[in-house]
Amino acid sequence: MKTVTLTLTNSPELYIEGQNITPDNFAGRKAAEITALDVWEGKQKSPLGKYFTVEGDGAATAEETKIVLRGDCTRVKRIGQQMTAGEIVIEGNADMYIGGWMKGGKIHVKGDVDSFCGIGMEGGELIVDGNAKSHLGSSPRGEWRGMQGGLIRVAGSVANDTATFINGGTIVIGGDADIHVSTHGEGGTVIIKGNAKGRVGGQMVKGDIYVYGTIENPLPGFSMVGEVEQEVDGETATFVHYIGDLGERHPVSKGKTVYANLYTRT
């Protein structure tokens, strides 16, 4: 694997739209060609080299290309957007839409991310060592398909509206989650190892949610089934099992109604 290192040397006044920062776009390009790729700051189009120094050439394929970003990327959006392969390491914080519509490969953020990260994700891995803000793994605004595949793992806590319209994939949250988790969910798995503020699984018809801590304001649309032992994220534990959201129309498969599952750790 060949590594391209981007070091932020000129911080933007506004925000950089960095959707060209992907292994797909860097593959097959020399450092000088990567430096010339377009980025946008507001309505101003500039070459990537206006903001970053570029060291190293892309590999022949995206799968063989690794990108390392150094410096404060809190004003750099859309890193890894729609990437299909390869690896990106962000050695600090990053802004919004990181890994949006991602199809493959791996992004590792060694800090915090802002909102809308992993939206519409179809595959690959998005690993965040810090916290994430709102709409993690959700659908874009006005769209009814959220995360469809892949893995998002956040070591810290997340803000509101995680996994809205989730259809597939897995989100693992090491800390707490704010309100609205898996709203309108139609599949996928969300694991919360801390506490949840409330409104967990509202209008959800399919999929699984695991909460290791407490739910401050549980919804009345979930009915307790009993206790079960489940293996979750590599460990086995006992959970109280609920089905719901009973106020919604649910699909029928092989003559049986399909419900969403909510598990709280005993």
At residue 107, the pLDDT reads 98
At residue 144, the pLDDT reads 83
**153 class by beta-carbon count within 10 Å (0-12 exposed, 13-18 middle, 19+ buried):** middle
Q: Which two tokens stand for residue 63?
A: 């799968």
pTM passes above 0.75 = yes
At residue 206, the pLDDT reads 96
At residue 141, the pLDDT reads 83
Q: What is the DSSP letter of 141?
A: T
pLDDT in tens, 104-123: 999 999 999 999 999 999 99
At residue 142, the pLDDT reads 82
At residue 122, the pLDDT reads 98
CB 163 within 8 A of CB 186: no
DSSP symbols for 6-64: EEE-S--SS-EE-TT-SHHHHTT--HHHHHTSEEEETTEEEEGGGTEEEES---SSGGG
Q: Which residues of the chain have pLDDT under 70?
A: none
Domain boundaries, the chain: 115-265
CA 73 vs CA 28, 45, 51, 53, 177: distances in Å: 25, 18, 11, 14, 24
